[in-house]
Amino acid sequence: MTKHNFPILIAAPMDDAGIGAIVYGIKISQLSNYALIIFSTNPEGKPESDQKYESDFKAFVEKTCSQHFFSNYTIEFGKGYLPEAVAEFTTRTEVVNVIFSMRPPSGFNPFYGVKFIKATKKIVVPFMVIQDNEPSTQLMEHLYIPISHKKEGKEKLIWAESFCKDKHIKIKLIPAKAIEPLSKATIQHNINFACRQFEANNIPYEIIKGTKSSYKIDQEAIQIAAKNRDGIVLITATKHYGPEQEIIGPPELNAIINSDKVPILCLNPRKDLHVIYAKF
């Protein structure tokens, strides 16, 4: 089974954010030939019945897709909080990745996105978060990958190899700056691993020297991508939350809701990552 047999899952509420998720999905489908599953749930506390919501949502999707002359999609529904329903859906349905759309909070809210990011920890495939309705025409030209001293970083390199193979995507590696010898050696080891993997599979790549530490390299990658507006940033999610992160969220939450609105592709650490992507 080839990778194009698996669709992209679009998590779409019936609002402007949902339109954004669908529009990004359409753009990626047009560039890479993936089908879409457009997925939604009737928001909790809403007065309308599931039947009416589903009927209205189908009309909403049809209108959005027809405006972009797109028909390669199916519609599915779940129950409850949308990210949690998406996580459950990905445990029983093969998809390439998930696309969510978020909007910045209207005012100061230090807890914004915490419920969302906790729910996404259960998603078994990479998920992308976008913040607008206008995907760049160069969206799939580059995949920016920050490289830190963390061992989980190898997982995103393995996934990037599978994702970029046979596509016209150039990888841009951005290694963190380190002074401490062990961290420096680990970063170099991860770079060497990436170079071997990409060269073996004829995947074009470039190394851009980072100036930030491992703890800030994701933000530097976002800034670089924002200047060019020609790609996506791939990051790894936090594996274990500390007490503070349980309350205000992990570091990747700041990356996901970055002020430059750069699309972020987030990968949850998984022991069986190589098994999942061997199916592609």
pLDDT value at position 275? 41
pLDDT value at position 274? 41
How far apart are the C-alpha atoms of 5 and 262, rounded to whole Å?
28
Other beta carbons within 10 Å of 150: 19
pLDDT value at position 37? 98
Contacts of 51 (CB under 8 A, 6+ apart): none
Q: Is the pLDDT of residue 104 over 80?
A: no
Quick one: pLDDT band at residue 171, thresholds 50, 70, 90?
very high
Q: Is 266 helix (H, G, I), strand (E, B) or coil?
A: strand
Q: Is the pLDDT of residue 112 over 80?
A: yes
Q: What is the pLDDT of residues 17-33, one digit of tens each?
A: 999 999 999 999 988 88
Classify burial at 203, counting beta carbons within 10 Å of its beta carbon; exposed 0-12, middle 13-18, buried 19 or more: buried
**Averaged over 9-16, what is the pLDDT?**
96
pLDDT value at position 245? 75
Residue 232: beta bridge partners?
143
pLDDT value at position 220? 97
Query: What's phi and psi for 90, nearest 5 deg?
Result: -70, -15
pLDDT value at position 273? 52
pLDDT value at position 45? 67
Residue 266: beta bridge partners?
127, 235
Q: What is the pLDDT of residues 42-87, one digit of tens each?
A: 987 677 799 999 999 999 999 999 999 999 999 999 999 999 999 9
| C-alpha 104 chain-centroid distance | 17
Quick one: pLDDT band at residue 271, thresholds 50, 70, 90?
low
**137 or 128, which is more confident?**
128
pLDDT value at position 278? 37
**Averaged over 171-200, what is the pLDDT?**
94
From the list 256, 268, 266, the residue with the least C-alpha distance to 103 is 256
Mean pLDDT score of the chain: 89
Classify burial at 47, counting beta carbons within 10 Å of its beta carbon; exposed 0-12, middle 13-18, buried 19 or more: exposed
- What is the DSSP secondary-structure string of 137-191? TTTTTEEEEEE-S-TTHHHHHHHHHHHHTTSS-EEEEEEPP--SHHHHHHHHHHH
∠ CA(166), CA(164), CA(74), 5° rounding? 90
Q: What is the pLDDT of residues 196-243, one digit of tens each?
A: 999 999 999 999 999 999 999 999 999 999 998 899 999 998 877 777
DSSP 278: T
How far apart are the C-alpha atoms of 82 and 89, rounded to whole Å?
10
Residues in the chain: 280
Q: Is the pLDDT of residue 277 over 60?
A: no
pLDDT value at position 249? 79
From the list 187, 173, 166, 162, the residue with the least C-alpha distance to 234 is 173
pTM for the model:
0.90
